[in-house]
Structure 1
Amino acid sequence: MTTTLRKSAMMLAAGTSFAALSTGAFAQADSVTLEEIVVTAQKREQSLQDVPISVTTMRGEKYDNFAAGGGDIRLLAARIPGLNAESSNGRVAPRFYIRGLGNTDFDLAASQPVSIIMDEVVMERVVLKSFPLFDVERIEVLRGPQGTLFGRNTPAGIVKFDSVKPGDEVEGYLKASYGSRGTRSIRTAATLPVSDTFSVRVSGLYAGRDDWIDNGYTGQDDAMGGFEDVAGRVIARFSPNENFEALLNVHARTLDGTATIFRANVLTTGSNELNDNYDRDTVYFDEGDNNPQEYDNFGANLKLTYDMDTVSLTSITAFEQADGRSLGDIDGGYGAVYLPEMGPGVIPFNSQTQDSVDDLDQFTQEFRLASNTDEALQWQAGFYYFKDDLTVSTNPFFTSPSTVTHENEAWSLFGQVSYDTSDATTVTVGVRYTDDQKDLDAVNAVGVIFTEEASADRLSWDIAVNHIVDDNLSVYTRLAQGFRAPSIQGRDIAFFAAPSVAKEEVITSGEVGFKSTLNDNRVRLNGSVYYWQMKDQQLTAVGGTNNLIQLVNADKTVGYGFETDLEWLASENLSFTAGISYNKTKLKDDTLAVGTCGSGMCTVVNSLNADGFALVDGNALPQAPLWLVNFTATYTYPVSDSSDFFFTTDWFLEGKKNLFLYETREYYTNGDFEGGVRMGLTFNDGQYEVAVFGRNITNESNLKGGIDFNNNTAFVNEPRTWGLALSAKF
């Protein structure tokens, strides 16, 4: 992205914001007001303004509009302050980052410091985190440690999804779209009341795209790039009386498509700009069978709630299962130094790899007892059990596949107490004790047996104070400590290296924030300032000559910054949202050294030790943009008594972001942005809609990640998509 384009984008955002301010100033006579936002960030329904946590929400309908261009769960990146998401494994195994904390590990057994919660069930392994989003009522992003109520492996925060539940009336919708490269989707849902006590909601998703990327090496047109992602969910609700409710959630998904497209030598030594080797529509793969990917998921959970006079008992039992594979031409090109022809650019040696989840089973059980009164003292306490078994196979093709079995068992006791010290002030204290045990068993291609184990037991806690200044303003402060359980990395067994282990990391985080409504409840402005310090942060050193993955612990890491969210009803017909986050992270470990690009084709900025490893003390964490800015504007114009024309646009802009632990002149980004647009007509008071949409409308090619061991290989974002969307509600 050129400097001129960056400046133009920022000027456009600034100009539009000024227009929003101007319009709002002349719209005081209108009677429109913002709706109250209800969240379950503390496992009970509360107004967003009363929760002493930095929370941003997104309605499911807004996500559907973003996803019309074929995007998956990763499209949340940069559209919520402080949140980033990416993957080197296509539509499976997304990696999330909040306030700079995440994990760049591409192994299918990798742990993450951002927890994904779907319908109150943790999706621990990365494959489970990729379950498609559809018929979602609300998305909540909770920033900062959430260890008290949501357990270990939440030191950065959580992303929480709540599906629409069945109600008492027949209702539903059908949404369909079709666009560039055969990008298509169908989203549908219906609530079907069977009786006064029993109702069912059925929902489904079909998303697909035609193959559109040519393989220049084989001469095959439209060889890869497509996918078909099909998922469904049935939620049954049984409530024989006002005191008891049972919710059964059964869901499944099948994916058949293309893994990430690696592009060889699209970066020139000394520059992070895409060069002439980059052709979005063509790659040159001599291996990898055009990078196929296929996965299947199945899961079910049962939530039972029984309300008594003063307490409520909740039980959540859940099971998740997944299996599948991804195959890729990792070097992104063809040839080797001993061949007469290579392309594009230098390919020192051929590399293809298949990683597969042969079997993944996850079981969780939670029991929770909570107060059920309007008294000043509110409390909840519970027990949680987690167990999973994961078998991962890696086939590098120059030797036999290696299979690694991971087992993880954990249990915890937790409690939280909130007390209204006055009509305006509430103090909340929480604590959780966790015991976590991990085991690895493996045999490599030459029969060497590996066994590893790691365990930890630790107390997580938080304390927060929320004070209501008046009806329009509340302020809060929060101090919390959480941890990520020890990790075992076994993928290197396939490459004749031993597994590595990282001990638990512990974060202490403090924040001060406010939540406000202004301008006669036409403006919602929330913000927070935070500082965190991580001891023994788990980091993944990826790459080097052998493209190994090694776990390391950094002595200390610190981060600080702020986030703001703005929602503005400028008039009855015009609304805006905006978010800004600033996030400064810094590694503090003067002895920590990691391998650099094995190809020798990148330009390392850090000092090197005697072994040629990069000293990363003082570096920012990878995939942690210094700035994130997002903006949306929506305008509606009445065409008739029951029809409206609407126009909406959305944009995001990222600041500087390193892609690896070590710093280079090639593998970083700065000023990346994307924009979208949607406009059309609604009929019959919103029952029907027809719209045209565009995603990445300026067709930006933004670096999302890289592979450094063989050449300067990278992968990029989705291309521009234009399309038509139709929807009907009933």
Structure 2
Amino acid sequence: MTKTLMTNITRLAFGCSALAFSGMAAAQDANTGKSLEEIIVTAQRRAQSLQDVPISVSTLQGDRVTQFSAGGEDIRLLSSRIAGLNAESSNGRVAPRFYLRGLGNTDFDLAASQPISVIMDDVVQENVVLKSFPLFDVERVEVLRGPQGTLFGRNTTAGIIKFDTKKPTEDSEAYVSASYGSLGTLTAESAMGGAISDKVLVRASALYQRRSDWIDNDFTGEDDALGGFEEMAARLQVLFRPTEDLEALVNVHARSYEGTAAVFRANIITTDERGLNENFDRDTVSYNDTHNNPQEYDSWGTSLKLTYNLSESATITSITAYETTNGSSLGDIDGGNPAGPGFIPFQSSTEDGIDDLDQFTQELRVAVDASEELFYQFGFYYFDASMDLRTRPFFVPDSIVSHSNETWAVFGQGSYNLTDKTTVTIGVRYTDDKKSADAFSGGLGVYLPTVETSDDNISWDVAVNHAYSDDFSVYARIASGFRAPTIQSRDVAFVGNPSTAKSETIMSYEAGFKALFADKRFRWNAAVFYYDVSDLQVSAVGGATNSVRLESLDEVIGWGFETDIEYQATDNFLITAGLGFAHTKINDHDIRVPACGSGACTPLDPTDSDGFLIIDGNPLPQAPNFTLNLTAEYTAPLADGELFIFTDWAMQGKTHMLLYQTVEFQTSGTFEGGVRAGYRWNDGQYEAALFGRNITNEANLKGVIDFNNNTGYVNEPRVWGVALKANF
């Protein structure tokens, strides 16, 4: 990225705040009767207006998800489109890694723990593969920043990404949408539902996505050898209402995916330089392995949500759920062949897979509107999961590690209106967590001793919200949280031993405001934060042995802010913007990590007497110093419909890829843009549009592999296409 472009992006970031002030002023004078719709969220396990929730929350409506995914994008489309959120994956369309306010985990193992929990339809998706379930028929995405340890539990020290799909309704409704674009990219989505009796409502939805292989392998001479995928997913929801006081919602969902795993590219970064070099060719790789990075996963799950009204003011909710998945990915890790591109010391291919992951969860929650002043809820939670991880390095026999995890918790939260304008919310949760791993080392040909770890913890939070008016409120929140102990066993496959990390704890301080101006045509929410994390779990990945070792950093501090604005400039013109800034710093005088095993990088950190890097004072990996998103939509009436044009841009500031800093393994800033233009008619029943994703065809470095050469992987390519939608 050029210095001029980076300067422009920085100016744009600062301009986001100026846009809020100028937008407010313009909105005061705008001659429009159209106001913004109220946003209802369930961030505190009950339906509330976003303006009343004392937490930093950003939302993304389902229609925006559909627009962003028209070019075949998966769940990583959320990256930088929510202020403060980053996402990437070295495992293709499965096993995404999320980072919020700078906190995340770069560990690529299939048993990796993350400090951001993904919750779909009230059910936690703990495993990294479960987190990648496709997005379709989505009602709303909520991103809850900061620790969420009271109502949602462990492993939420950074926050939560919460997905709510559309539920059955009494009204009969259906839609079909389809898009087709370059590279043979096809996305088709449909749903239908309604009442089949006065006591039974149903909704069925489905998704189909595919892309043709489009990347040539010039080593084998095979054209269109890899890069494609085919994915199918479906969901059936049935809502039973046997009595006025009882509801039972059954959710059954499944996914089948086959395609290319991450595409690693050898030596696309030059030593002592930043940015992609002439070895990078988006349309070509040079793999001497003929497998071409295949990946395949199948998943399904079911849940039963029972809601019973104990009285007019008390409700009991039970959520019972089961999730399972299995599959594998095979990767050409060195990204090339013995002849290059560039120098590759040795060839490396690895296959990883999950055999029969089983996850069972049970939640029981009671909510009581005790009076006009007091609301409280309390409950019990149970989690049990097991899986076998298989790693095949090819130079030794397979290694298999059997992981198990059992957790239970009790929790409670209460909100009390001190006055008609001031509300205090207090929550507490006790959690007990146990993990174990039994490993067979293929390289050693022996079973290793069982590794066990456990801990318990009390998490709590206190928040105060004061509403100066119906349209303006301020809040402050103090929250604690913890990430349970972790076992990292990938090194078993490379004749190593498992490593463990003790519990990670966080104290977070946050204050903000939520406001509506100009007859509810201008929404402006903002928050500032500071956190202090003890024993942050990180993964030291790479070095000469390509080891993956868990480490606990003594302390990490972070501070920054987020701001979201939504401006209905006129009846026909809507603008949104989100800006997040995060500064993170490692405070650990004793931590040491290995440098790149390839010797092809230039570390910026000091070394100790053994040649290990001292990372004290470094920022966290994959923690951009800012994220910025902008959207604008303009409509113009025409005949019995309207023309529209929509554009969206997501930008990310300086980002280091690894725990240690180098000249090469960082980006100075990246961006992507999209556009959609078309026509809606018959009161919005039909829509036809042209779209483009990554319209400037940016090649953004998303991650690196440092043990063999300067291997990297990049973002998705540009896709142009046409999209159609019909509502019935």
Query: Where do 1:305-704 residues align within 5 Å?
Result: 305-309=307-311, 310-335=313-338, 342-372=339-369, 375-445=372-442, 446-450=444-448, 451-640=450-639, 642-704=640-702
Distance (whole Å) between structure 2 residues aligned to residue 551 and residue 288 of structure 1: 33
**Are the structure 2 counterparts of residues 23 and 529 from structure 1 closer, same or farther at C-alpha, using a change threshold of 3 Å?**
closer
SS of equivalent to 2:477: strand
Q: Which residue, 28, 40, 43 being the options, matches 1:41?
A: 43
Aligned to 1:55: 57
**2:86 pairs with one of 84, 87, 90:** 84
Match of 1:664, SS state, is coil
Q: 1:4 aligns to what?
A: 4
Deviation at residue 358 of structure 1 after TM alignment: 1.1
Three-state SS of the structure 2 residue aligned to 1:176 is strand
Conservation of the 8 A alpha-carbon contact between 1:307 and 1:372: no
Deviation string, structure 1 residues 30-78 (Cα, Å, up to 9, x no partner): 1111111000000000010110000000101101100001110001010
Residues 594-622 of structure 1 show CA distances to partners (whole Å, capped at 9, x for unaligned) of: 01100000000000111111100000000
Q: Is the 8 A contact 1:13 1:631 kept in 2?
A: no
Q: Spell out, residue by residue over 1:469-521, the C-alpha distance to the aligned partner (whole angstroms, 9 max, x if none).
A: 11221000000110000000001000001110000000000100100001111
Which of 231, 239, 242 matches 1:240?
242
TM-score, structure 1 length as denominator? Answer: 0.97
Aligned counterparts of 1:189 and 1:13: Cα–Cα separation in 2: 38
Residue 273 of structure 1 deviates from its aligned partner by 1.4
**Are 1:122 and 2:124 counterparts?**
yes
Is contact 1:705-1:714 (8 Å) kept? Answer: yes
Q: Is the 8 A contact 2:23 2:567 kept in 1?
A: no
User: 1:133 aligned to 135, 143, 157, which one?
Assistant: 135
What CA deviation, in whole Å up to 9, does each residue of 1:238-279 have, x standing for no partner?
113331111000000000000000000000001121111110
Give distance in 2, aligned partners of 1:164 and 1:653. Answer: 30
Residue aligning to 2:166: 164
Contact 1:288 1:327 in 2 (8 A): no
Per the alignment, residue 714 of structure 2 pairs with 716
> Are the equivalent residues in 2 in contact too, given 1:404–1:442 (CA < 8 A)?
yes
- Asked if structure 1 preserves the Cα contact closer than 8 Å seen for 2:13 and 2:628, the reply is no
Equivalents in 2 of 1:41, 1:394: separation in Å? 38
Q: For the structure 1 residues 697 and 111, does the alpha-carbon distance in structure 2 shift closer, same or farther, using more than 3 Å as the test?
A: same
- In structure 2, what is the Cα distance between the partners aligned to 1:279 and 1:447? 41
Deviates more, 1:482-491 or 1:438-447: 438-447
User: Does the C-alpha gap of structure 1 residues 559 and 12 become closer, same or farther in structure 2, counting only changes over 3 Å?
Assistant: closer
Paired residue secondary structure (2:308): strand
- Count of paired positions: 723
Secondary structure, aligned partner of 1:181:
helix
For the residues of structure 1 that align with 2:26 and 2:537, how far apart are their CA atoms?
A: 47
Cα deviation 1:396-438 (Å, max 9, x = unaligned): 0001010000000000000001110110011010000000000
Relative to 1, partners in 2 of residues 1:192 and 1:18: Cα closer, same or farther, differing over 3 Å? Answer: closer
TM-score w.r.t. length of structure 2: 0.98
Please say if residues 380 and 408 of structure 2, whose CA atoms lie closer than 8 Å, have aligned partners that are also in contact.
yes
Q: Unaligned stretches of 5+ in structure 1?
A: 336-341
1:338 matched residue in structure 2: none
1:69 corresponds to which residue? 71
1: distance between equivalents of 2:643 and 2:24? Answer: 22
Q: Alpha carbons of 1:344 and 1:207: their partners in 2 closer, same or farther (altered >3 Å)?
A: same
Q: Distance in 2 between matches of 1:538 and 1:575?
A: 41
> What amino acid is aligned across from residue 408 of structure 1 in structure 2?
N
Opposite residue 441 of structure 2, the aligned amino acid is N
Q: Is the CA contact 1:288–1:329 (under 8 Å) kept in the aligned structure 2?
A: no
Please give the per-residue CA displacement for 1:329-369, whole angstroms capped at 9, x wherever unaligned.
0000001xxxxxx1101010000000000110000000001
CA distance in 1, matches of 2:634, 2:25: 12
Distance in 2 separating the partners of 1:144 and 1:481: 9
- Whether the aligned pair in 2 keeps the contact of 1:288 and 1:353 (CA below 8 Å) is no
Amino acid at match of 1:3: K
**In structure 1, distance between residues paired with 2:9 and 2:537:** 36
> For residues 617-642 of structure 1, what are the alpha-carbon distances to aligned partners after superposition, in whole Å with 9 as ceiling and x for unaligned?
000000100011110000000012x2
1:670-703 deviations in whole A, cap 9, x for unaligned? Answer: 1211111000000101100000001111110000
CA distance in 2, matches of 1:363, 1:672: 40
Question: What's the CA shift for 1:373?
Answer: 5.2
CA contact (8 A) 2:655 2:669 kept: no
Cα distance between partner residues in 1 of 2:579 and 2:15:
16
Gaps of 5+ in 2: none
Q: Distance in 2 between matches of 1:654 and 1:480?
A: 27
Q: Which amino acid aligns with 1:319?
A: Y
Seen in structure 2, the aligned counterparts of structure 1 residues 124 and 106 have a Cα distance that, compared at 3 Å, is same
Quick one: which amino acid aligns to residue 697 of structure 1? I
Deviation sequence 1:418-466 (CA, Å, 0-9, x none) = 1101100110100000000000001101223221000000100000001
| Contact 2:261–2:329, Cα closer than 8 Å, also in 1 | yes
Q: Give the 3 Å change call, closer, same or farther, for CA 462–274 of structure 1 in structure 2.
A: same
Task: Say which is worse superposed, 90-99 or 447-456, in terms of deviation.
Answer: 447-456
- How far apart are the structure 2 equivalents of 1:649 and 1:14? 20
Aligned-partner residue type, residue 135 of structure 1: D
Inter-partner Cα distance in structure 2 for 1:534 and 1:13:
27
User: Given the superposition, is the C-alpha separation of residues 193 and 210 from structure 1 closer, same or farther in structure 2, using an over 3 Å criterion?
Assistant: same
Deviation per residue, 1:543-600 (Å, 9 max, x gap): 0011110001011000000000000000000010001111000000011010110000
Q: Percent identity?
A: 57
| Paired residues of 2:302 and 2:323 also in contact (CA < 8 A) | yes
Mean alpha-carbon deviation: is it higher for 20-29 or for 425-434? 20-29
